[in-house]
Amino acid sequence: MHKRLNLNETIDKVQYEQFKKEIDYWKQVILRIIAVVKFLAKHNLAFRGSNEKLYKKGNGNFLGVIEMLEEFDPVIKEHVRRITSNGLHVHYLGHLIQNELISLLAQEIKKELIKKIKNSKYYSIILDCFLNVDDTSGKGLFDITLEELKSLGLEIDDMRGQGYDNGANMKGKHQSVQKRFLDINPRSFYTPCGCHSLNLTLCDMANKCVKGKKFFGFIQRIYTIFANSTKRWEILKDNVKAWSLKSLCQTRWESRVESVKAIKLQLVDVREALLQVGEKDNDAAVASEATSLAEKELGDNFWYQLLFEINKLIGYFKNYRETGFSKMIVEAKEIAIEMGIDPIFPQKCLTERKRRFDESSTSEEVSFTPEENFRVNYFLVIVDQAISSLETRFEQFNEGIEDKDLSRIIIILKKTLKFEERLDIDADELYTELKLFDIGNQ
């Protein structure tokens, strides 16, 4: 028996070799399935469709990749053969296995990230919607975040930064998440989310005056008219060739430039499409709305330039306030001429206001031309709101030390990072390192 075991010549030799081959086979299958899961996850692609069977319509990306591999890979080819010949019922291609593999991979990624964070010692956090939260108050969000950090084995004392949106429960000075962390660790400096601050700035601008609110309503109405009918969409496609119309995004305001651009840069073509809808559509309400939009509302050039400036650089606003209006008027008149529209501001009928009994008949009333009225009550209102909101919502980004004396700055930093006699830096060493770094760059 001992000799046979050493020579691998036992009575179950054949069965053992078969068993070993089967183990190797399943290892190879699993390796390929994991590779497919990693590929789809890395490229942020959906896994499943409406069907979970091979070679069936709508079976999704995961099974689609398996079908593609079957053409070239002998292991997957054999696996698919077993499945399709009904010789195999446990095949590891179902959604439960996919979810389990995704979860296992996520756990490994999390372990690796935590390992890197601990090796780096110091870390910063942002809080998004990845944790299940029932209490969205400052205390509730703080408690769940603190519990999560402890479960990950991260020391609160090593936190050096926190960044959230501009909600009162996140950024408030008394009961918010950032204040509660600062109470525990004064070195966990708070910085508001720049993108969220910009979003709120744009909301402030759009809601500042009625005309601003109406403009984005017009943009959405134009999209809805065409999107709600395949026939009307064909009319749009026949006239508009470059950029397709897009629905407004309700949360990411900075992306609205794409929605506005599609209309602004194709204004003549979009107007023609609306006029055709007005002439041909069987729905009287839709036809009337399309004609009204084409003849009366389709001409606000201001918001595209404004959103475009935002996407380039926030600091241009103050200069844009002085120069943007005249530039916009020139461009708007060129577009009007191209569309065959008289390039003048429409004059509204003025209703004389009755004077109060105690009001002098000689009191002066400010009277604007239509163009000046547009500049004062629309253009300047929006731009001034932009400047005001940017200064308010980004004021925390401007807080800092402007002194150019390196030694003094390092001493201030050392004191700032000191907590209960614990120091993050050695001032002399940091000064030496920064000087060497500066010399190296020169």
Residue after which a domain boundary falls, among 192, 226, 244: 192
Q: Which residue has the tokens 């030694």?
A: 407
Cα distance between residue 76 and residue 52, in whole Å: 17
Look at residue 115 in the predicted model and tell me its pLDDT.
94
Cα distance between residue 243 and residue 18, in whole Å: 61
B/e letters for 277-304, b = 16+ CB within 10 Å, e = fewer, are bbeebeeeebbebbbebbeebbbbbbbb
Cα distance between residue 168 and residue 171, in whole Å: 5
Sheet holding 123-126, edge to edge: 123-126, 159-163, 189-190
The answer on 310 and 255 residing in a single domain is yes
395 located within any domain: no
* Burial class (CB within 10 angstroms; exposed 0-12, middle 13-18, buried 19+) of 427: middle
355 located within any domain: no
Q: Which helix (H) or strand (E) is 26 found in, with range? A: helix 13-42
Host domain of residue 141:
121-192
The answer on 372 and 266 residing in a single domain is yes
401 located within any domain: no
Angle CA(196)–CA(389)–CA(297) in degrees, nearest 5? 90
B/e letters for 334-367, b = 16+ CB within 10 Å, e = fewer, are ebbeeeeeeeeeeeeeeeeeeeeeeeeeeeeeee
Total Cβ atoms within 10 A of residue 403: 10
The answer on 13 and 72 residing in a single domain is yes
Residues 116-164 have pLDDT tens digits of: 999 988 999 988 767 778 888 889 889 999 999 999 999 999 999 998 8
Give the CA distances from residue 347 to residues 226, 332, 333, 371, in Å, rounded to whole numbers and listed in that order.
31, 17, 16, 9
Cβ atoms 36, 64 nearer than 8 A: no
Look at residue 404 in the predicted model and tell me its pLDDT.
57
Residues 221-248 have pLDDT tens digits of: 888 888 889 999 999 889 888 777 877 6
361 located within any domain: no
Look at residue 24 in the predicted model and tell me its pLDDT.
93
The answer on 337 and 203 residing in a single domain is yes
Cα distance between residue 193 and residue 162, in whole Å: 10
Cα distance between residue 250 and residue 309, in whole Å: 20
The answer on 286 and 429 residing in a single domain is no
Angle CA(348)–CA(351)–CA(354) in degrees, nearest 5? 160
416 located within any domain: yes
Give Cβ neighbours of residue 363 (< 8 Å, ≥ 6 apart): 355
The answer on 212 and 324 residing in a single domain is yes
391 located within any domain: no
Phi, psi for residue 287 in degrees, rounded to 5: -60, -45
Closest by CA to 392, choosing from 166, 53, 77, is 166
Cα distance between residue 33 and residue 41, in whole Å: 12
**Coil, strand or helix: which one is 284?**
helix
The answer on 298 and 371 residing in a single domain is yes
96 located within any domain: yes
Look at residue 400 in the predicted model and tell me its pLDDT.
45
In the chain, the number of structural domains is 4
The answer on 74 and 32 residing in a single domain is yes
The answer on 186 and 126 residing in a single domain is yes
Query: Which stretches of the chain score pLDDT less than 70?
Result: 129, 194-195, 197-202, 204-209, 211-212, 248-258, 296-323, 335-336, 339-368, 389-405, 437-442
Q: Which residue has the tokens 């429960």?
A: 169
